[in-house]
Amino acid sequence: MEETLRSLQQEAIEKVNEAQDLKALNDVRVAYLGKKGPVTEALKGMGKLSAEERPKMGALANEVRGAITETIEAKQAILEKEAVEKKLQSETIDVTLPGRPVKSGNHHPLTMIVEEIEDLFIGMGYTIAEGPEVEKDYYNFEALNLPKGHPARDMQDSFYISEETLLRTHTSPVQARTMELADGKGPIKIICPGKVYRRDTDDATHSHQFTQIEGLVVDEHIRMSDLKGTLNVFAKKMFGEDREIRLRPSFFPFTEPSVEMDISCKICGGEGCRVCKGTGWIEILGAGMVHPNVLEMAGFDSSKYSGFAFGMGPERIAMLKYGIDDIRHYYTNDTRFLKQFSEKE
């Protein structure tokens, strides 16, 4: 028995030394010291020994077990240290490597234009007003002097949701709502940016969904010259101090008189070119003096109060400012297009 135990010790220690990793080492532990291992087996056989031999063999078996355990523990410490070193080595970070660039987005060109226009008017004392995109027929048309069946409703093909609700066709309903809330008392000085919808077939210059910014000023003694002065400041700040504006008579049911504003063509300086279609002028927005019916319907005394309103399309303004030739670029989300407007560059 003594021999068996000694050769087991020898054998186990050799195996421990051969073990290359922690798993192999554990296999050795299970094989030699486990419940079914030879050392345990040997100890079980002690019953058969004589009374004097039993304690001797018991002590020897414990010694063998202790020796094997010790070598295993020593080896385990070495292997664990090696494993940590290996891991550290494989995870070493080369701080001299150039970093991977983080891709960042930028504001959409339309957002940028809208914010630029907003800032410009906020600088002139305006506040921003917003309203719902799903609008009542009343605010979209009726309160703007466009009763049911009015032929001018055809100017704005609409997406109806029900008989009385539709996707707003312009941001003008926000002016109707704001005036109504003002309870017949001025002054009002707002701009209303937002999305609008029309039943249009999309092409290079039309989209069924686009953006508008509407402006409205209501107070006592507001005159056409105030409108013209405001638009002149806007045009120069937006397109350059050398730009001229001109107002042409036009028609909107909610303004009287109504005008359309052109700015002088930057490309040809007024000579006439392809962009301005040979006229030297480019149409920018619609405007006019708020119709007395619109003021009265919103609860304002039109003999005391007057106002002006204007409405423009940021898509068109950005197209002119940045030379964008197709309105669909704004909505197709091609990052090659969008990235050109990165503020950082």
Q: Which residues bind ligand PHE (CB under 6 A)?
A: 170, 172, 214, 252, 255, 286-288, 309-311
Q: Does the annotation list 256 as a binding residue?
A: yes
The structure tokens listed for 93 are 């970070």
CB atoms within 10 A of CB 259: 24
Element housing 287 (H / E): strand 281-290
Question: Minimum distance from CB of 94 to ligand PHE (Å)?
Answer: 60
Nearest alpha-carbon partner for 254 in 176, 195, 157, 197: 176
Pick 137 or 214: Cβ nearer ligand PHE: 214
Greatest CA span in the chain, whole angstroms?
A: 129
Tell me whether residue 255 or residue 264 sits nearer to ligand PHE (CB atom).
Answer: 255
Identify the bridge partners of residue 113 per DSSP, sorted by sequence position. Answer: none
Smallest separation (angstroms) from ligand PHE to the CB of 153? 12
Cβ 188 to ligand PHE, closest distance in Å? 14
Say if residues 179 and 199 touch (Cβ distance below 8 Å).
no
Query: What are the start-end ranges of the E strands in the chain?
Result: 127-128, 134-136, 165-167, 188-197, 209-220, 245-252, 255-264, 281-290, 305-312
Long-range interactions of 31-39: CB distance < 8 A, separation 24+:
32/8, 32/68, 33/65, 33/68, 33/69, 33/72, 38/4, 38/8, 39/5, 39/8, 39/64, 39/65, 39/68
- Do residues 209 and 327 touch, judged by C-beta distance below 8 A? no
Give the pairing of strands 127-128 and 188-197.
Answer: parallel
Query: CB under 8 Å to 27, separation ≥6 — which residues?
Result: 19
For the CB of residue 293, give the shortest distance to ligand PHE in the complex, in Å: 14
Minimum distance from residue 214 beta carbon to ligand PHE (Å): 5
Judged by beta carbon, residue 280 or residue 311, the one nearer ligand PHE is 311
Q: Which is nearer to ligand PHE, 68 or 259 (CB)?
A: 259
Question: In this complex, which beta carbon is closest to ligand PHE, that of residue 68 or of residue 144?
Answer: 144
Among residues 253, 252, 312, 243, which one has the least CA distance to residue 284? 312
- Kindly report the backbone phi and psi dihedral angles of residue 281, in degrees, each rounded to the nearest multiple of 5, phi listed first: -130, 150
Give the nearest distance from C-beta 162 to ligand PHE in angstroms: 22
- Which position has the token pair 């039109």? 302
Helices (H) and strands (E) in the chain, counts: 11, 9
Nearer CB in complex with ligand PHE: 197/310: 310
- Residue where the block lists tokens 């907003």: 118
Cβ closest to ligand PHE, residue 37 vs residue 286:
286
For the chain, the residue count is 345
Minimum Å distance from CB 215 to ligand PHE? 7
With CB atoms as reference, the residue minimizing the distance to ligand PHE is 311
We find the least distance from the C-beta atom of residue 213 to ligand PHE, in angstroms, to be: 9
Q: Which is nearer to ligand PHE, 239 or 310 (CB)?
A: 310
Binding site residue list for Mg(2+):
256
Binding site residue list:
256
